[in-house]
Amino acid sequence: MPITALYAGLLAPIFVVLALRVIGLRRGAQVAVGGGGDKVLLRRMRVHANFAEYVPLALVLLVLAESLKTDPRILHALGICLIIGRISHAYGMSQSKETFAFRVSGMALTFATLIGAALGCLIGSIGRI
């Protein structure tokens, strides 16, 4: 599944950067578990967690759609939407004075990816069962 592998490979460094942002702030604030009452740390934790909550399902749906021979152009469009959506959401949510336009557009692109990939799975599986 080379198309999904491409987007998984592009998303992994974003996940690592978001994790390192949490780890760095945790060390500075000397907080081992949780947010320790630090609002910036809590925000960074949620940005990272949100990425971790949505990206795995999106990649699973993409790989399944790819295995069912969904048009590669559609898969690339969905992968690009996912990357832009996750970066946009992370940027918007990371701001102390939240930028809702980035956050909302990021979630819209993420949901579009989930729905598009799910449709690819449904369409690809019809006639095979």
Q: Does residue 61 lie within any of the structural domains? A: yes
Tell me, yes or no, whether 129 lies in a domain.
Answer: no
CATH number, domain containing residue 32: 1.20.120.550
C-alpha–C-alpha distance, residues 48 and 107, integer Å: 14
**Total structural domains within the chain:** 1
Dist. CA 112–CA 94, nearest whole Å: 22
Q: What is the pLDDT of residues 26-60, one digit of tens each?
A: 887 777 787 778 888 899 999 999 999 999 999 99
**Per residue in 8-31, pLDDT tens?**
999 999 999 999 999 998 887 777
Answering whether pTM is above 0.75, one says yes
Q: pLDDT averaged over the chain? A: 94
> Could you tell me the residue range of the domain that residue 34 belongs to?
2-124
- The answer to whether position 98 is within a domain reads yes
Question: How do residues 68-100 score in pLDDT, each as one tens digit?
Answer: 999 999 999 999 999 999 999 999 999 888 779
How many other C-beta atoms lie within 10 A of the C-beta of residue 95? 12
Residue 41 forms part of a structural domain: yes
